[in-house]
Structure 1
């Protein structure tokens, strides 16, 4: 037994010393990879963004890395990202099929599905159905404002003290998307929604961990009971929960009279029951989870990041409050249309999105054919990583502190504002997120002042890296505006 272990290690050492990984012809430059591991040892597993910035400075805005034995091209800066994802959109619209997250979702739904007829059918269905059920309309505003009232109730109970806002914003964002998907709202202490959110958070954080990388670069490890198996277990639990919701929904459903997106999907299955359709129950579960994920994590993490910056910049918060008060005057609620009269609030919200940098590396793409990017050749199937963080912080694109206001105080949105990515694979939840962020923050800033809590530690603006990046936990000091003097 000992002799076999020694021979195995000798074999691995021989691989490292004698096997050289060769880049394809005219491929973007990058650091020399090791056999088996590629360039993983040159990236910080906790947060690789600084290492990517270092490599960008050395090799330029287009460089390559090896993730195991597979080459990947990293795109940096606005010009490069738009050239690939917008100008040559169809050539870069694929998704990797070998990643752990691809295997977890089985390539179904929308987010991780490869470019093709099923993806097109489901994206078109989701966008059309969400619009039909109020996305971008006054009816959707009502759903959001109803949920904001519950947020306010929770905050009022902490007025004069402090609270942890992490789960509050996740719960609120989850309920808003649930109202669209299956017309259901959960109380904030409901164990079902709390468990669902916790597992989704864990999934997004574990998608880019070292264990996920080992799953991808050493396939022989996949059957072993290693930590990455937990990801599959958690995802299966999520699917089982969604299946229970579907079963419950079917019991009160009337075919042809849809109440929500789930009913619409079931109607679509009935219409195409004769075969040849991409719509089926397995795809439906993946789509529902996609929508839940797209409508929850990014919005809630942006709200938490916004609160951190507002607590530590009281002058920004006060100016927002004055603008909100001037525009709304005696009205009970804000409307999404009010954003046109609130340039400073709009600028503050967009700056919070830029700084929160929730999806720094987007969702990885692949090339759908042999293609060219500037002078480089990218073979069909090359993995492409759009470094959105490099765009949101690109020197020359931003004029801090007024990144979203022009010289006369009007709101402007620079081209480099790409928190939702760009091209045909732009985030499905963008429209909902924009409406939520505005209505939530306007309502909260109108009623409350947020302060750094007396029991709070020194502000920490660093992030917890993952598939969806999040601000480190911090407490939120809450004060009622009506209780302030003057």
Structure 2
């Protein structure tokens, strides 16, 4: 009798498992086509773990612009090309507005902040952050003056080198970060401030760690975080040290807060916390504030400073382009006043060069991961709720049907037949749709003012033959990491 009941229970369990597997397989049966995955590892053997976007571009030739690729056991829907990326992120914005949070990020930030959150938390914090940034002048003259002031400090640092070879990363990182610090903390830091230098070292180190292939493995097989914890522990230590820096500043703000007179973003958030103190469902708490400031520092510093560093390298490789920008600056601005945003419309060539730099360097080739918010039908395929989506920015910025010479650096991509600036709908370094980067306005202002002021004051010369300059990044897994280089800033 005991054997009989054991057989019956086994049959029931087996039946339930088969039912679950059938439901799972039928749920994913109508998903986009893609390479056949192997058990456990998925399509990993068919992918370049150091440059996933290159593998996805190759697979697109066989499976089309909408395809399913498995990273380990996890299916990803990969969108390749402007048409499908725009259709998903703009025309079906609500469906594709979810944020897929990789396991490693979840371990480091616990879903706090708004960049890696979803639902009500994302809506409340993003709305507040955008409104507060606008209040403090994002895209307006107040922040423009902060940037103009900061770039004066930067040009002074380059003048101190007296034209001798120097490594630009520390200068550019400190200058760009000071703009973020002015908004978030209400203060800038001296370039030699030990705590400030340590903070930026931690941010830079974190980005390098995040771009290692083992980070991809952590996100595919989260168990490795505990089985091989060394890499993760380094990242966690960095994040905690950055949070210690920001927590000390938050504590100072709390002690000196004047409720009707916010000095910066932190003050505004603390005031909102007081206003919502009796709301049990409020998202305005110290955990969210800490991670928002962390996001400001990492994203706001690394992306813009890397773009500046990459751009100067490109201009040294193509000195004739640098010279044309110099001539336009001399003609429109001259040498006696600081460049201003109002100059931009009178400088079509320089504006085209600065836009082409952003397109060509392809800083975030995969974009930040999205996720479907509900079951949906997209181009005839059924995509279940919670599916990770990769709207590839690389495929948009290098699409052969949208750009005349996508693989070459060509400012003509942003100029019409009369030499006037023209924008392209395929220009989306900050992504598009509801998850578009909240700091786009600030970043574009920084890039124009930093580039134009530096080129007004200096000619940048390489320490090698321009023909030998390599524009290949050191890493291109998540974010492009540029190899260190030196240049000579020659006063004009």
Give me the TM-score of the superposition, normalised by structure 2.
0.90
Structure 1 counterpart of 2:44: 40
Q: Give CA deviations for 1:367-424 in whole Å, capped at 9, x if unaligned.
A: 0000122121110000001110111111021124310000001101111001000001
Structure 1 counterpart of 2:231: 227
Asked if 1:435 is matched to 2:445, the reply is yes
Moved over 6 A (4+): none
Structure 2 counterpart of 1:359: 364
* Secondary structure of 1:92 counterpart: coil
Aligned counterparts of 1:43 and 1:159: Cα–Cα separation in 2: 47
Structure 2 counterpart of 1:279: 284
More moved, 232-241 vs 118-127? 232-241
Q: Give CA deviations for 1:60-84 in whole Å, capped at 9, x if unaligned.
A: 1111111221100111110010011
Contact 1:205 1:467 in 2 (8 A): no
Structure 1 counterpart of 2:489: 478
Q: CA deviation at 1:471?
A: 2.1
Q: CA deviation at 1:202?
A: 3.1
5 Å-filtered alignment, 1:57-76, equals 57-76=61-80
Aligned residues: 462
Aligned counterparts of 1:466 and 1:169: Cα–Cα separation in 2: 23
Asked if 1:162 is matched to 2:172, the reply is no
Q: 1:467 aligns with which of 455, 478, 489?
A: 478
* Structure 1 residues 208 and 322: CA distance shift in structure 2, 3 A: closer
* Secondary structure of 1:291 counterpart: helix
Aligned counterparts of 1:160 and 1:142: Cα–Cα separation in 2: 27
5 Å-filtered alignment, 1:81-120, equals 81-114=85-118, 116-120=119-123
* Secondary structure of 1:403 counterpart: helix
5 Å-filtered alignment, 1:67-466, equals 67-114=71-118, 116-207=119-210, 209-224=212-227, 225-275=229-279, 276-329=281-334, 331-400=336-405, 401=410, 402-454=412-464, 458-463=468-473, 464-466=475-477
More moved, 287-296 vs 207-216? 207-216
* Secondary structure of 1:227 counterpart: helix
Task: Give the gaps of 5 or more residues in structure 1.
Answer: 1-18, 482-486
* Structure 1 residues 50 and 330: CA distance shift in structure 2, 3 A: closer
Aligned counterparts of 2:224 and 2:171: Cα–Cα separation in 1: 38
Aligned counterparts of 1:91 and 1:354: Cα–Cα separation in 2: 27
Q: CA deviation at 1:168?
A: 1.5
Contact 2:317 2:467 in 1 (8 A): no
Aligned counterparts of 1:285 and 1:164: Cα–Cα separation in 2: 31
* Structure 1 residues 214 and 471: CA distance shift in structure 2, 3 A: closer
Give me the TM-score of the superposition, normalised by structure 1.
0.91
Q: CA deviation at 1:200?
A: 2.2
Q: CA deviation at 1:455?
A: 8.8
Task: Give the gaps of 5 or more residues in structure 2.
Answer: 1-20
Structure 2 counterpart of 1:6: none
Q: CA deviation at 1:177?
A: 0.5
Aligned counterparts of 1:413 and 1:98: Cα–Cα separation in 2: 33
Contact 1:321 1:446 in 2 (8 A): yes
Q: CA deviation at 1:331?
A: 4.6
The alignment's C-alpha RMSD in Å is 2.0
